[in-house]
Amino acid sequence: MTTTTAGSPRVARRAIPTAPRTVALGALLALALASCTSGTSTSTTAVGPAGSNAPTAAGSAPSSSSNTATPVDDTVVLNPSVADGASVPVDTLVTVSAKGGTVTSVELSYQDPKAGAVTVGGDIAGDGSTWTAHSLLEPGVTYTLAMRGSNAAGTEKSAKTTFSTTALTAKQQISATLIQNGSTVGVAMPVIVMFSSPVTDKAAFERKMTVTSTPSQPGGWAWVGSREAHWRPKEFWKPGTKVAVKVAINGLAAGKDTYGKADLSGGFTVGNALTMKADLKSHQMTVTINGAVARTIPITGGKPGYETRSGTKVIIEKNAERVMDAATTGVSADDPDYYKVTVKYAMRETWSGEFVHAAPWSVGSQGRANVSHGCIGMSTANAQWLFNQAKVGDPITVTGTGRALDRGNGWTDWNISFEEFVKGSALS
């Protein structure tokens, strides 16, 4: 656009826009201000007095970091120690652990052909991190493991798995028996556990064999061969003691591909303190009951060549009547010393055939001479009285002969010191 002024030469002029320049200056100012702020945030904070910040300017955007939330994993993972569908050996101890929470309940069960559904007990750790079964497994069955867990947010998780155990033959399974289980016994009665087959890993079994008594008395284990274990207190049992025995070997590996068949629980009660002391030099037996002499009995023992063994023995069994045949001790029927006779009130002392029993045929020698084939004989009246008083587990100490009692010939646990006895432990 051009303009003309009267009286002056015609000059063309360009119009100068004013508004656009104002906008441009404002934009430049905004850019300058923006260059003073952080590159990671569009908000600005005015600095106030030392130690404080002024409020954020009106209309400014909040910091981007204030809108970022940390993700929370609320998954509870339950981890059993056996895989789903697995085939596992019976000496497996099942456990369940939790990640991201705690174990709240576990049920481990199987179907028994005779008993039906059987549930295996277990314990949850104090912090809820794991569950552990109370026992090992049964052979040739299928187990179901149902698990539940939760976390602090209240999220719950459940899971289930099944697995099977390998089958075992009868020869692969070892059962245990407690001698005199449930009986009232004498103060010298050892705890005797018999096994149906040899135990190779005695240490593994012994760790799972416990004896407790009321009142409590110290003692220890010793093995007699590979199929028999004895536990004796340091001193004779106190009269009236209650003894409890547990052999927790179900599923436990015994070595050579054999396993414990079942746990065993039992015990016995200790009766009064009856002791017998037989002196075969004086030919007298002193019977003491609860510390008082109850009777002194004239006796006879083994003659030369058949001497009675000296030592501390224990009554093993009682028979009101028993046939004694010398053939069982290796004497042939044509030997002059052969005998086969029925005796009364017989109480076994040794496995080799020594008994305390009635011997009416030798009454004339009782109290004066030793004329038997190794047994301790007495009159029928005295034998009957003693038979009625004595119990399996009562001790009889024999002295006065030059023949010693062999270790293991009977329950010979008291014929040695306690320190020597416990050297027979598999854990010593």
- Residues paired with residue 246 on neighbouring β-strands, in sequence order: 210, 265
Catalytic choice (230, 283, 357, 373): 357
CA distance 211 to 242: 11
CA distance 211 to 183: 16
The answer to whether residues 232 and 221 touch, using CB atoms and an 8 Å cutoff, is no
* Alpha carbon 283 to chain centroid, angstroms: 49
375 is catalytic: yes
The answer to whether residues 201 and 257 touch, using CB atoms and an 8 Å cutoff, is no
373 is catalytic: no
Cβ-based neighbours of 356, under 8 Å, separated by 6 or more = 276, 315, 346, 347, 349, 375, 376, 378, 383, 386, 396
Would you list the DSSP string of 400-413? S-S-BPPTTSSS-G
How are beta strands 102-112 and 142-150 bridged, if at all?
antiparallel
Q: Reduced to 3 states, what is the DSSP secondary structure of residue 279?
A: strand
The answer to whether residues 94 and 134 touch, using CB atoms and an 8 Å cutoff, is no
Catalytic choice (230, 283, 373, 375): 375
- 286 phi and psi angles, rounded to 5 deg: -105, 125
Of 198, 196, 137, which is closest to residue 168 (Cα–Cα)? Answer: 137
Would you list the DSSP string of 15-52? ---SHHHHHHHHHHHHHHHHTTS-TT-S--EEE-STT-
Beta strands in 64-155 (DSSP E): 77-80, 87-88, 95-99, 102-112, 116-120, 122-124, 130-133, 142-150
Of 118, 89, 114, which is closest to residue 257 (Cα–Cα)? Answer: 89
Region at 62 (left for phi over 0; alpha for psi -120 to 50; beta for the rest) = beta
Name the residues annotated as catalytic.
Answer: 357, 375
